[in-house]
Amino acid sequence: MDNNLNGLITKWSNQSCRANKVNKELYARYEVKRGLRDIDGKGVLAGLTRIGEVHSYIISDGKSIPVPGRLSYRGVNVEDLVNGFLKDERFGFEETCFLLLVGHLPDAIELRDFRGLIANNYDLPDDFVRDIIMKAPSKDLMNTIARSVLTLFCFDDQADDLSERNVFRQSIQLIAHFPLLAIYGYQAYAHYHEKKSFVIHSPRKDLSIAENILFMLRHDNQHTDLEAKLLDLALVLHAEHGGGNNSTFTTHVVSSAYTDIYSVVAAAMGSLKGLRHGGANIKVVEMFEEIKANVDDWQDPDEVSNYVEKLVTKQAYDRTGLVYGIGHAVYSISDPRAIIFKSYVRELAKEKGLDKEFELYNLVEKLAPEVIGKHRKIYKGISANVDFYSGFVYRMLDIPQQLFTPLFAIARISGWCAHILEELANDGKIIRPAYNCVEPKRIYLPLEKR
């Protein structure tokens, strides 16, 4: 591009920026919300859902009182769900997908059949890897996966059929395909952009999704039980987070236009890619690399606190003033996902010989709210969110950073599909048989008692 064109683009883009500015005072005057949250963290009512519930406060005497965070999938407390499958020593992500899509916890036979259905849909269409994934691989895997999702439309003879049965079929296929789209996309990226060996492993039908991710990613196919268990836990904790988060809200908006599921999911991928959403765990890892490089004694609270203060006052890392992984749009006292995750992160860190690094994370988690409170007016409490530890876990699992956000997508595709089905089920213009609606199960039961 010649200098004249560069000059015009600079000139007109600056003019465009000035023309697009809206006086911030007008948002308050006309009660217009910027995004899906008020400044105090209270959600903006934009719809109703029965799929996921995020609970962070109670109302007493007309006032909002923060409480420890709670997350429920279809009325089942995630903590109970996790304790159940870990106690029974089984993988929980497929069970979670069933719960989100169907609306209740599966019994033993339903879980066996559902796992079989997922496994039978692992394989991508013939020549898809060669003709689509390996051609012109992007440097950003979220774009690679979105492109692959849109291309899957071409291989589906019923792509535009919005009947719930067909969309449920498509949902199963997308849940099964996403690990392959991500891992194969990464292998193509690593080969073409990093000049690494190109190795493709087909998934095994006898392995869970979490096991298959590690099996397909690693050249030797090997992983420990703890590694697979922790990755499975990460998928469960990222699978759903209510209808108000950006990418899930996107699924409702786009699917309400009666478009196909592939277009809806591609739009959600674009939302999740953002650093304010799914890309946050990458920023946490990068931030901690800066902390490790600039703090001599990781166990000294004063030295660590001083560096955190530099982050908050825009003197360190990316100078945004953010401590990534600390604070959440909804939770204040605690993020239940971070609490569940933390004990198992400690266990993996011990196995990997990274105890000191884990303790550094632990110390920053403790100190950051205090430092932030000194410099800013806090409208609600702040605590570590799930992104604070997830990037550390992925790094311990030797998962490349390029796959951090795609792993979020592999988990969240189950929640997205559930919300797409919900949007269709509640649209009165689509003719469907009458159903007797019942409340979902509210109490966790062991598998053998369901």
Residues forming the active site: 328, 387
Pair 180, 403: CB distance under 8 Å: no
292's enclosing H/E stretch is helix 280-294
Q: Is 64 left (phi over 0), alpha (psi -120 to 50) or beta?
A: beta
Pair 443, 105: CB distance under 8 Å: no
Q: Enumerate the β-bridge partners of residue 52.
A: 73
Pair 334, 380: CB distance under 8 Å: no
Question: Which tokens hold the place of 291?
Answer: 């902390």
Phi, psi of 406 (to 5 degrees): -55, -35
- Please give the single-letter amino acid code of residue 8: L
CA–CA distances in Å: residue 160 to residues 123, 153, 165, 417: 22, 9, 12, 15
Phi, psi of 137 (to 5 degrees): -65, 135
- Sheet of 76-77, strand order: 52-60, 63-73, 76-77
Distance CA 260, CA 237 (A): 27
Distance CA 279, CA 179 (A): 18
Query: What are all long-range contacts of 268-275, with beta carbons under 8 Å and residues at least 24 apart?
Result: 268/412, 268/416, 269/142, 269/145, 269/146, 269/149, 269/409, 270/142, 270/146, 271/246, 271/247, 272/142, 272/246, 272/247, 272/405, 272/408, 272/409, 272/412, 273/140, 273/142, 273/143, 273/405, 274/246
Phi, psi of 180 (to 5 degrees): -70, -40
Burial status of residue 372 (CB atoms within 10 A of its CB: 0-12, 13-18, 19 or more): buried
Coil, helix or strand at residue 58:
strand
Phi, psi of 54 (to 5 degrees): -110, 120
Whats the size of the chain, residue-wise? 450
Q: Give the E-state strand segments of 118-256 in sequence order.
A: none
